[in-house]
Amino acid sequence: MIPSALGYGLRSALARRKRWLPFLIVVGVGLTVVGTSLGVAGRASDRARASADRDGADRVVEVEGTLNTGRQVRLDGSTLARLGDVPGVERVLPSSPAPLGFKDAKVPGALLVATAIRTRRPPMVDPEGAPPKLRPGEVLLPRRTVDSDLKSVLGRKLVFDTQRATGVGEGTAASYRLRVVGLYDPKFQPDGQDVAYTTEFDNLRLAAANSGLAPAQFQRREGFDTAEVVVRKGAAVGPVLARVQRLGLPATTLSQRLEALPTLLSLARDLGLFLAVVLMLVVVVTTAGQTAAAVRARQSEIGVLRSVGYGRGAVMAAFTAEALIAAVVAMVAGVVGSFALSAISGRLLRDRLDQGAILLPGLTLPTPGPLAAIVAAALVSTFLGAGFAAVRAARLDPSLSLRPG
Amino acid sequence: MTPAGGGAVAELLAASRDFETAAGRVVALAETSLAVEPSEILGLAGPSGSGKTTLLHLLGLLLRPSSGEVRLEGRETSRVREGVRDAFRREFVGFVYQEAMLVSHLNAVRNVTLARPGLDANRAQQLLTEFGVGQLADRSPAQLSGGEQQRVALARGLAHAPALFLADEPTSNLDDASAGVVVSSISGQAGTGGAVVVASHDPRMLDVCTRVLRLEHGRVLEEAA
């Protein structure tokens, strides 16, 4: 009798499609938005993780020489030596930002920040690939800055200007000659879009000059702003991170940083989770309400079903099936909608987000896992909502249901 | 009142039914014993509220008796679980009511085959033709007149050749032509060996009954000739 009841529910859902239409629209649109929000954020998260893994960023602990527990922690020579002595550390690469500018006939002006190039997850150069190994006197620039296209400077030796401090609040201009050996895509790197990558040697020279010190004095007295600590094995990252933090240094893993989604995607994920919960509540309440209304309006029909031999389970199945069929249609619409909206929003976000090209390359489609979980949860919610009301239908006294009036 | 017999299709053995209401306990049917034999058309007459429908629903296993027993095809049904009663009802009992009570979203054929997985559309079509509505098989109930609906309901009730056919005021809303079809169909059902119990005020219906019980205030008062 149950298969017959399911067929009965199908015909009933078809006959009452107009009544189910608002439910179909709300759930279909809701699932589209939820699937898209979670899908796009999930895709970006997966890509960020894969990108961090691919580039070996999962073996890097990033250390900052900023204020910590109320005192300035300097990444000076002795601190760097202590970092290098931490068990499991392969090497330590310090860096300090230093302003670096230039202009010529084709470039009206470019203001950049010089920093030492990363050994892990370096920027991607054109055509996409690893940058050349830098030697002293060489620099890697972004393909474009805010106002200028820098393609014309590739391969040229340029005179860069920086500031040499001469006293408190005083300084003079200083020039450095560096050859541009590569242009990176500003979307494909984690240090910002106006970074000029140099060797550790040139970065020390520039940073020291910027502080008005000789390189040796800078290392001893001033210290660097950041250090990239490369760990020998991924499994050792946790212990190294803990040891570095015990030294009083603020430290995070690079992969953590890379995997932290841009604010917009993070908001999309949170919104998606919130809407998913709301959607489930809407599904439960709506299916319970629709089914309860149907039970009230169709009491004599329920009596007829019982009189022709439908058992309580079959009556319950018929009414639950009607809601489930409506839910399945809404789910199909929502899944199709989320595929379409994911593709569209992925395309739009790619050009508008920091690292959008890394996070959302190609066609963006919803992540199957979360989408399947939402669909399953919505079907369970429908079953619960409709089932609750359908129990009432099954418990109706058929004798009373069949009495006129 | 006929005492319970061994070959009866349906029997009430000292069966009663009462209901709890806000005003207190109401006896819908006082202790009653009767048997319905094969080929018998048992009429139930009496004013509204006399217990006719309650008696029909006890025989049709839509109600459990408050006391006593209801037997169907010799099997006690009052104390068995609901699923067994549903199966008995599906196999042995057919109903038709004062109103056709067709399922609005099913066409005539699907109303006839409702809950009858073994009944194919051809047989349902044949039944509808026998009741004079074969050409309306694809129509929904809303597209049928009251008389046509009642004929479809008759086909539904008789589709599985039930051992016991129960009719509750089946002709009260019908014109003469449709009422005639209903009366002759019910007579025909008895002619095939099935038992019929019909509650009615309609003399056309009561005239074909082999026996008529008169009920008042939940009690069977007399057996009319």
Q: B104: which chain A residues are within 8 Å (Cβ-Cβ)? A: 15, 301
Interface of B with A in 164-223 (CB under 8 A): none
Does B50 lie at the interface with A, CB-CB under 8 angstroms?
no
- CA angle, corner A150, sides to A144 and A152, nearest 5? 155
Residue A356: what pLDDT?
73
What global pTM score does this model have?
A: 0.70
- The number of C-beta contacts closer than 8 angstroms across A and B is 76
- Rounded to two decimals, the ipTM of the complex is 0.89
Q: B83: which chain A residues are within 8 Å (Cβ-Cβ)? A: 311, 313
- What letter represents residue B161's amino acid? A
User: What is the Cα–Cα distance from B189 to B186, expressed in whole angstroms?
Assistant: 5
Mark yes or no for CB contact A304/B103 under 8 Å: yes
Region of poorest pLDDT, from A180-189, A268-277, B170-179, B197-206: A180-189
User: What is the Cα–Cα distance from B123 to A369, expressed in whole angstroms?
Assistant: 49
Q: Which secondary-structure segment (H or E) carries A290?
A: helix A263-297
Confidence of residue A74 (pLDDT cuts 50, 70, 90): confident
Mark yes or no for CB contact A15/B114 under 8 Å: no
pLDDT at A9 over 60: yes
| SS3 annotation, A47-80 | HHHHHHHHCCHHHEEEEECCEECCEECCECHHHH
Nearest partner of A209 among A163, A158, A161, judged by Cα: A163
Sign of CA dihedral B9, B47, B219, B53: positive
| Residue B36 DSSP class | E
User: What is the Cα–Cα distance from B128 to B139, expressed in whole angstroms?
Assistant: 12
**Per residue in A324-376, pLDDT tens?**
999 999 999 999 999 999 889 888 887 777 667 777 777 788 888 888 999 99
Q: B86: which chain A residues are within 8 Å (Cβ-Cβ)? A: 1, 306, 309-312
Q: Kindly identify which residue of chain B lies nearest to residue A309, measuring between CA atoms.
A: B90
**Per residue in B115-174, pLDDT tens?**
777 788 888 899 899 888 999 999 999 999 988 999 999 999 998 889 999 999 998 878
Please answer whether residues A256 and A245 qualify as being in contact, where contact means their C-beta atoms are separated by less than 8 angstroms. Answer: no
What tokens were used for B211? 């026996």
Mark yes or no for CB contact A399/B156 under 8 Å: no
On the 0-12 / 13-18 / 19+ scale of CB atoms within 10 A, A328 is middle
Q: Kindly identify which residue of chain A lies nearest to residue B168, measuring between CA atoms.
A: A403
